[in-house]
Each structure stands twice: as C-alpha cells, then as structure tokens.
Amino acid sequence: MTVPTPPDGQQPVDRTPDDHNPWRPPPPGTPPAPWATYPTAPIPAPQSRNGMGITALVLGIVGVVLGLLIILFWLSWLPALLAMIFGFVGLSQARNGRATNKGMALAGVILGGAGLLAAAGGAVLTITAVKTVADGARAKVKEVKSSASAAEKARHLSFGESYTFENGLKVTVAEPKPYTPDDFVLGHAKGNKAVQVTVKVVNTGTARVEVETGLPEVSDAEGASAELLIDGSGRQKVITGYVLPGKEAVGKYAFSLPPDAADRIEVEFSPDAMRWKDAYWSGPTH
C-alpha cells in the first residue's frame, strides 16, 4: 500500500506500535524468555513373566505323582512332557531377563523328566506282568490240554487191560470169544458171526457202588453198532445192582457181527454213563 507524502517535504512517521512488529528486535537489556519445562512420567519397569515356570513346576509334580501310581502311570507322560516344554520356555525367559523364577522352571524340567521315566518304568512293569500272566495262562491251558489228552488216551485200551473209574470201579474187558447161539435166538441174522464179550467189574473202594449201566456197546470194524444177541442158553449175564468193596461182578454178552466187518470190534462201557465218560477196549476177534 502507498503512503502519501506529507506536505513540506517531511518524512512519514511510522505509527505502528512496537508490540505489533514481530520483526523488531527486543529492546536492549531484555533477557530472552526461558523455555517452558514440563513434568515427565516415570517409565514403568517391564513385568516378569513367571507363568511358564510355575506351570512347569505344577505339571512336573502332577506327572511324578501319577507316575508313582501303578494304575495311573499311563496318564503321567502327558503332564510330564508338558512340564519339560514349559520349563524350557521358562528357562529361556529367565535367561533373557523376562522371568525371575529360573529355579521353578528348572525344577519343572527335572520333575517332567522324572515323570517320563516313571511312565516308562510303569509301562515296562505292566508289560512284564501281563506277559508273565499270559505265559502262565498258556502254560496252564497247555497243561490242562495235555492232561485231558492223557486222560482221553488212558480211556482207550486193548482187550485184557483195566481202567479204574473215579467211583473206584476197576473194569476189565476180556478178548472176545466166538459164540454159538442155540436154536432159539433173537438179533442174529443168518450168516453173521457171533462173539461173546466178558466184562469184569471190581470195587477197589471202601464203599459199595451201584452199576447203573451194565450193558456195553459194541461197534464192528466199520464203526457200525453191533446188535445184541439174545438166546435161550442162559450163558449171558447182565451186571446189575451194587458191587461191595473188594468184590467183583462179571457180565457176559453176545453180539452179532456182519461177516465182512467181524475181524475187529470196539467195546464201550461205563458203570454210570450219566456221571463217568465211557472207556473203550478194542482189538481183533478170533
């Protein structure tokens, strides 16, 4: 903006107040304004991260306790493994200055290792015990089978041998002899071969024993049941009633055999078929 020139050649007077001139230097002797100071808040110290060490210690204790319980050892490996993991993390934080419970973290690692060892030991003991029990059971089964096989074998005899039943009756079947029936005969077809089977029963016990089944069963060489022969000769005798201690009873029976299957027979007999398994006598016929 142009300032008009005053008359008489006078210079224009600057009437701008001093306090409105930002570029005017300060008057001499005036000190500069001091910088303003502001209060500063204290910087908080970093918090310690002790959770990993505490967790490792607790899990380590749980792992060791479960490992010492035989029935719960299989549960101890998980807390023990976690204790070692958290313990190593806690040790790392302690080395970096972010945790102050290095001892807890180290204890968690140690207890975790102990828990894993306890779990492994429990597993070994359990496997060993199970194997021992299984081996014992197999041996027992084998023994029972062997005993049953021996008992079964003992019940198969040759003619002339004896077998003693559990009631004390000792039974012997003699070698069959040829038998000639009389004219009046039942159960004997023409052309068949007749044989006589003699069964002797001796009471070896101290009390009388009843013979419940006095009739033997006879099979021919082909395994077919032979037919009981009955005639009027009176030579046949059926064992019935009681046998006193030290006494014997003898039964005589005649059977009819087909001529093509009469060379060998098997006699099956038990003094009480409802209680005792049959014994078997076999051999050739003459």
pLDDT digits 0-9 by tens, 215-258: 899 999 999 999 999 998 889 999 989 999 999 999 999 999 99
Degrees to nearest 5, angle at CA 46 with 45 and 52: 145
Q: Which amino acid is at 42?
A: P
The listed CATH number (3.40.50.300, 2.40.50.140, 2.60.40.1240, 3.60.15.10) that belongs to domain 157-284: 2.60.40.1240
pLDDT computed for residue 265 by the predictor: 95
What's the rounded Cα separation, in Å, for the pair 143 and 152? 14
- Number of other residues whose CB lies within 10 A of the CB of residue 24: 10
d(CA 262, CA 218): 11
Cβ burial, residue 274 (10 Å; 0-12/13-18/19+)? exposed
Nearest to 54 by CA among 128, 132, 120, 106: 106
Residue 147 confidence (pLDDT) = 78
| pLDDT tens sequence across 75-117 | 888 888 998 999 899 888 888 888 888 888 899 899 988 888 8
Give tens-digit pLDDT for 172-228.
Answer: 999 999 999 988 899 998 899 999 999 999 999 999 999 988 789 999 999 999 999
Surface-to-core class of residue 182, CB atoms within 10 Å of its CB (0-12 exposed, 13-18 middle, 19+ buried): exposed
Structure tokens at 222: 């082909």
Q: Which helix (H) or strand (E) holds 173?
A: strand 169-173
- Tally the residues of the chain: 286
Going by C-beta distance under 8 Å and a sequence separation of 6 or more, which residues neighbour residue 210?
241, 242, 243, 272
Residue 2 confidence (pLDDT): 52
Tokens at residue 44, please?
């908080």
pTM: 0.54
Percent of the chain residues past pLDDT 90, beyond the cut:
39
Three-state DSSP string of 255-266: EEECHHHCCEEE
* Two structure tokens written together for 238: 């059926």
The pair of structure tokens assigned to 268 is: 């099956």
Q: What percent of the chain has pLDDT over 70?
A: 83
**DSSP code for 13:** P
List, in sequence order, every residue forming a beta bridge with 198; answer none if it has no partner.
252
- Lowest mean per-residue pLDDT among 149-153, 180-184, 198-202, 281-285: 149-153
Indicate if the pLDDT at residue 26 is higher than 90.
no
Are the C-beta atoms of 211 and 244 separated by less than 8 Å? Answer: no
The CATH 2.60.40.1240 portion of the chain extends over 157-284
Non-local (6+) Cβ contacts of 171 within 8 A are 162, 163, 164, 165, 199, 200, 201, 202, 269, 271, 279
